[in-house]
Structure 1
């Protein structure tokens, strides 16, 4: 069930785009704090400037209130943030800037979530009632959209379905075909997650029909992507491949190179699920060729690095570890050259893959070094995400738990390395570190006085573990679940069976 929910989450996040808050990303935390502090310090002057003249600039005035509200939210001043965002929302409705009003509803729901109203559901419900009482169908549409999304995010699919059906009727009344196609995708996802396969497929078929009738190839590709993604969830790899092949042809016909690359990548992943290794390699090599021939130097990096990494995972699966290591190193070199923070996740994936291939090849020293780098990058990524945690509905507890699986996987590999080197004591320490890390982080985050400055908690040592065992007159025994073959971050080859090791 858990794996199914993860697949559903991936479908929703990969196929759907949402209005997101204006976040100032920065390489340095002190710079970031300065950016938001300047928004607060310059608020009065910025607002006066926006109101200058006979009519003023209403759009700029809304932006000033929104920017200051987000800045206060970043610093944890939630009541002040709500006050400013409410002003921005009021002005958005007065000027009938409904997309902005929707964005503000989404932002305010995240603030309410911090104050105990999980995902801002009660807040959104109240604004839906306000919109209905006013007879404001545009505002009702925005409130429905984000309320349904909140219920989807909280895994309350039964509540999300009637909201999406109501939202769908409104969208159709406005003749918004693009949003209609997207909404049918959300509705199908809700049915699919509940296991109502017939209803899901009926909605997906309706989505594809609407998309094709629109004559918009982008909408048809979206619908085909939903078809293929849910076919994978239903373990129908061939149906997924057929749908994605159609999407690939549409991308090529429209000349959209990025959609073509995306379809090739998806096809490779679906072929991996079907364990058709020659086709996996063929599609990834094709992806690599298209990226190198048609992308400019500013955009090729990520696509090239991903293709190399996925090829490496494929060769590792067929136990050609030397070739896999070579490809992972090429991919990692490209990721490392980039200074963009968005590639920390990519670097972590490549490092994890490289460490696993080195371990399988018997290169234990190299695997240990690579694995330690992966753990360090994981911590950097966690800190990057944590800096913005106040800006989103996700709590610190949710963040730690969402990152735990990746970290646990890294520590499991470290245990295997230590066992292979006949170092059971070190394996025990690694096991305890990986198992307890998330719990310790939850405690220290909640104990921190400044939400932007968490407390650092030291990792346990062998001496400390031994002292605890002696004090309790007990023997420490740790079980770890590992896979017979390495599980890679992206490519999934057929089914894998776990087993246990005793430390």
Structure 2
């Protein structure tokens, strides 16, 4: 089922309207001098005047560097002559030159010099001109309080001069700036003053030619911003275009076409805008006007971007970029780079997006443009969020907030706060998310922006919804809905209607849910939003399913699937087809259900293929699709096809892991072959090849789901046993009676899941067990004190997991049994499960664990690769192969980590017991252990590829501290170049040759439990080429850990079978330390030999 929640982070496009016309400068009036200017040397005066004119010609040709050189030379001459008139003109021109290139600090510096000169000269007219210009440039980059500090004295001067047109112009600027600052009382005051002088304004006495007059009038209308005024502006720009074309004024024709493009674009009239730009481009190319060429290409790129033609937009911006560099338009270059970053992000090219944004940020910082810094940092944060790098996103958004000045644009501040709230929501810190969203809402309320306020309200509603606090969620959604209707945002209205429907679904009020869904559906159909329509159809189908109206539910899901397939949205199709199969299964239409569920699986698999080598996204995607494969197993089992159900179970687990391992195979042909799920014959062959009894578990959920599509109840446990001789047996365990029997003091609908948690707790395990179920953890630890509770829980798990298949397991305790768990069953301490007589499973069997049968096959191939490399030592090339060695690490100087996102880092505790363990094992293996400051991350990374045996006795961390998408890290000593954390994501990129890695640390066998298995350190090590990994399922006391590990290596020196060596070490340790907490934590994943 699809959730329609918003959490809509706002993306900044940052592109200025491509056809914006700079204000046409007024002729600079002759000064009313209070002192007689010095008489200039006529030759030097003539030279300066010529340089001044030359600079204007160079500026018109967009030769900025040449223009600056000419004007600087003229400035020196005018100053040497004491020619203040000439000096003032050049200061204005130099300011204009830098402002044209959006270089604000140098532009402002020249205008400030002009203000000072005008005041010395006592020329209020010129002082007004410079003050007005300073106000304009600061307002253009969002520094509104700074702008106000110039606009207010400009108004005072205009009033002193009794110059009504200047007063009108100053008041217009003050109104716009005050609006940006949200000071609406002051806006009203200025508007009243504006109305009072309106009658005094003289009629137009301009001396501009008709083309420029039409352009100027059109610009004034465009600035007003209303739909009617923009239409009037378009008429003026068209008038200017016709006049310019008739008179052969090519440059003015280009200006008119640029203005037309910008005006049409502002009204959403994309095709006319594009036509205007396309007409202007050849004219600019013919005239060699590089500035206009760049401006036109940027405008075209914006149109392509807004119409979804992303590749074309990127190509067009790429054409503009070298021209902007050539003409040294740094601001334009930064804008285009930022737009290219946004497009690359939309296309999923996140590394390229970050590259573009970093270049844009450097330019914004060099030019002192705080607004662009903020927006670029926001865009970088959004990319990091998409990558799941939440700490990096958090840092970017905080930098964006810090870049804002007190007078910055309210929308920028609100958006940054909203984006920050989104990151908090992603990492489950809902209180912080709520605080950020509420701060954003407060800013938007002051700014009187109902459209954006509506989205802020919806985001707050979604936080309350995620907390299952339905009353305030509903209140915020309803308030959002009212504003969305007010601003006629149909898409937002449809989304919020769906969100309200989800609440009523949760509250078991299906009729109300249907009412809201149907309203959302009508809007989606009216606005021709097929994705929104399909989503709403899925939600409608789900509601009818909960009402047991399976025929209607199937009808809605079928319509949604058809629509999704028509628009090529495989994700929505996967959901719809899966839900269709569920409805058909409930209606006992088993063949139809099988067909629909297979089609759903194919839709998901096509999506996975489109992700290329993006392992993180494949894992996330697999989380969404696991229910499809479980339903398929259920449909096949109901048709008495247990072997086909086994194939479906393998098809639906550890697929991202399988593909990652297959990529490391020697040839592309091997990789392609191995990413196909195994059929029954191949599964039998794997059991025979490994000489192991395979036990695969699958937890089948009841039909009822919550709003997030998660199961509400456990229904059955499917167990397949595949013996080395190829015999396949299928057993089913009914979990429904457990709901009534009450295996725990607190009633629960997921008794098996909670029983696993309670069994671990009764052993004495503390800390995070199921990241996704904090309530189960709390219940699990509530009564774990009694010694008898330990045996009871372990025996209950044995009854459910082992007794149904006990007769199928080998009688020889040295024979291998490989368990293939699923979900929370990965955390089961299989070796410590007890039968009715109190005998532990380790006493009867040699136990291994694997994420899937196919992964087991691929680790075997890794073992063969390593063995082949060892066998080649007689080959002339053997000198290039890594020699056998051991890498032993114990108690490094500990790094510091952040306990939570945004909190200060704290150093991890020292592990003196791990140091003793490492030294003892190093003695056994005749090597030196790396301890303390020696065990740096840099040194470990250098030695890892050559090591044959790796033993790491240090802290193992479960969380995804760096936000890299794969949780888990090994704590090593930091150096100047790194923080000391060797993350699972970094291990994933290595190519290792070790035959065995032992992680003798806290909880290294855990990780984030997903539909793809346990994502963490062990998975990364196996993916990096290690066929055998020993990990711990919980923190073990120092003394028994050292004893067990030392005994394991002694056993391994006697026999090559790692599984048997670990079993014997556990039995020896158990005799000395009988508590399972001390000996049962370690498990072998992958190959035994």
TM-score range, shorter chain: 0.5 to 0.7
Inter-partner Cα distance in structure 2 for 1:219 and 1:193: 19
Q: Is the 8 A contact 2:377 2:399 kept in 1?
A: no
Report the CA distance between 1:244 and its aligned residue: 0.6
Instruction: Return closer, same or farther for 1:471/1:337 CA change in 2, 3 Å cut-off.
Output: closer
1:417 aligns with one of 720, 728, 742: 720
Report the CA distance between 1:227 and its aligned residue: 0.7
Determine the structure 2 residue equivalent to 1:144. 417
Determine the structure 1 residue equivalent to 2:641. 363
Determine the structure 2 residue equivalent to 1:324. 593
Determine the structure 2 residue equivalent to 1:220. 493
Secondary structure of residue in 1 paired with 2:819: helix
1:472 aligns with one of 1062, 1066, 1080: 1066
Report the CA distance between 1:311 and its aligned residue: 1.5
Report the CA distance between 1:264 and its aligned residue: 0.8
Alignment of 1:241-256 (within 5 A): 241-256=514-529
1:189 aligns with one of 459, 462, 477: 462
TM-score normalized by structure 2?
Answer: 0.32
Inter-partner Cα distance in structure 2 for 1:301 and 1:415: 29
Report the CA distance between 1:459 and its aligned residue: 6.7
Tell whether 2:442 aligns with 1:169: yes
Secondary structure of residue in 2 paired with 1:18: coil
Q: Deviations over 1:126-157 (max 9, x none)?
A: 64354254545343223312222233233333
Q: Is the 8 A contact 2:564 2:573 kept in 1?
A: yes
Determine the structure 2 residue equivalent to 1:452. 989
Q: Is the 8 A contact 1:66 1:88 kept in 2?
A: no
Report the CA distance between 1:60 and its aligned residue: 3.3
Inter-partner Cα distance in structure 2 for 1:167 and 1:243: 27
Instruction: Return closer, same or farther for 1:412/1:121 CA change in 2, 3 Å cut-off.
Output: same
Report the CA distance between 1:288 and its aligned residue: 4.5
Instruction: Return closer, same or farther for 1:427/1:442 CA change in 2, 3 Å cut-off.
Output: farther
Inter-partner Cα distance in structure 1 for 2:421 and 2:462: 12
Secondary structure of residue in 2 paired with 1:362: coil
Inter-partner Cα distance in structure 2 for 1:278 and 1:420: 32
Secondary structure of residue in 2 paired with 1:429: strand
Q: Is the 8 A contact 2:544 2:550 kept in 1?
A: yes
Instruction: Return closer, same or farther for 1:74/1:337 CA change in 2, 3 Å cut-off.
Output: closer
Tell whether 2:820 aligns with 1:430: yes
Inter-partner Cα distance in structure 1 for 2:351 and 2:472: 42
Question: In terms of mean alpha carbon deviation, does 81-90 or 349-358 score higher?
Answer: 81-90
Report the CA distance between 1:189 and its aligned residue: 2.3
Q: Is the 8 A contact 1:50 1:60 kept in 2?
A: no
Instruction: Return closer, same or farther for 1:236/1:458 CA change in 2, 3 Å cut-off.
Output: farther
Determine the structure 1 residue equivalent to 2:539. 266
Instruction: Return closer, same or farther for 1:448/1:62 CA change in 2, 3 Å cut-off.
Output: closer
Determine the structure 2 residue equivalent to 1:340. 610
Report the CA distance between 1:366 and its aligned residue: 1.2
Q: Is the 8 A contact 2:417 2:437 kept in 1?
A: yes
Q: Deviations over 1:347-388 (max 9, x none)?
A: 76644432332234331211222222222524257889xxxx
Inter-partner Cα distance in structure 2 for 1:303 and 1:64: 28
1:87 aligns with one of 341, 359, 362: 362
Inter-partner Cα distance in structure 1 for 2:515 and 2:661: 41
Task: List runs of 5+ in structure 2 lacking aligned partners.
Answer: 14-319, 612-616, 663-695, 701-716, 722-728, 732-804, 811-815, 828-848, 852-957, 959-965, 971-981, 991-1019, 1031-1056, 1077-1089
- Name the structure where helix makes up a greater proportion of residues: 1
Inter-partner Cα distance in structure 2 for 1:289 and 1:109: 32
| Alignment RMSD | 5.0
Determine the structure 2 residue equivalent to 1:43. none
Report the CA distance between 1:226 and its aligned residue: 1.7
Q: Is the 8 A contact 1:65 1:84 kept in 2?
A: no
Instruction: Return closer, same or farther for 1:305/1:101 CA change in 2, 3 Å cut-off.
Output: closer
Determine the structure 2 residue equivalent to 1:236. 509
Tell whether 2:380 aligns with 1:104: yes
Q: Deviations over 1:219-240 (max 9, x none)?
A: 2212201211222343433332
Tell whether 2:394 aligns with 1:155: no
Inter-partner Cα distance in structure 2 for 1:416 and 1:147: 45
Which one has the largest radius of gyration?
2
Q: Deviations over 1:222-261 (max 9, x none)?
A: 2201211222343433332221111112223334333222
Inter-partner Cα distance in structure 1 for 2:368 and 2:547: 51
Q: Is the 8 A contact 2:501 2:516 kept in 1?
A: yes
Determine the structure 2 residue equivalent to 1:53. 327
Inter-partner Cα distance in structure 2 for 1:96 and 1:377: 45
Report the CA distance between 1:109 and its aligned residue: 8.1
Instruction: Return closer, same or farther for 1:92/1:169 CA change in 2, 3 Å cut-off.
Output: farther
- Pairs aligned (count): 410
Alignment of 1:282-361 (within 5 A): 282-288=555-561, 295=566, 299=568, 306-333=575-602, 340-341=610-611, 345=622, 350-361=628-639
Instruction: Return closer, same or farther for 1:427/1:161 CA change in 2, 3 Å cut-off.
Output: same
Inter-partner Cα distance in structure 1 for 2:604 and 2:554: 21
Question: In terms of mean alpha carbon deviation, does 465-474 or 274-283 score higher?
Answer: 465-474
Determine the structure 1 residue equivalent to 2:1002. none
TM-score normalized by structure 1?
Answer: 0.64
Instruction: Return closer, same or farther for 1:162/1:314 CA change in 2, 3 Å cut-off.
Output: same
Inter-partner Cα distance in structure 1 for 2:646 and 2:12: 40
Report the CA distance between 1:465 and its aligned residue: 5.3
Inter-partner Cα distance in structure 2 for 1:179 and 1:90: 28
Q: Deviations over 1:442-479 (max 9, x none)?
A: 46873676553343154789x8656644543379x9xx
Instruction: Return closer, same or farther for 1:450/1:54 CA change in 2, 3 Å cut-off.
Output: same
Inter-partner Cα distance in structure 2 for 1:231 and 1:213: 24
Determine the structure 1 residue equivalent to 2:6. 15
Secondary structure of residue in 1 paired with 2:412: helix
Q: Is the 8 A contact 2:578 2:628 kept in 1?
A: yes
Instruction: Return closer, same or farther for 1:349/1:109 CA change in 2, 3 Å cut-off.
Output: closer
- Name the structure where strand makes up a greater proportion of residues: 2
Inter-partner Cα distance in structure 1 for 2:594 and 2:649: 14
Inter-partner Cα distance in structure 2 for 1:383 and 1:246: 48
Q: Which has the higher contact order (CA 8 A, sep 6+)?
A: 1
Inter-partner Cα distance in structure 1 for 2:487 and 2:343: 38
Inter-partner Cα distance in structure 1 for 2:1065 and 2:522: 67
Report the CA distance between 1:284 and its aligned residue: 2.0
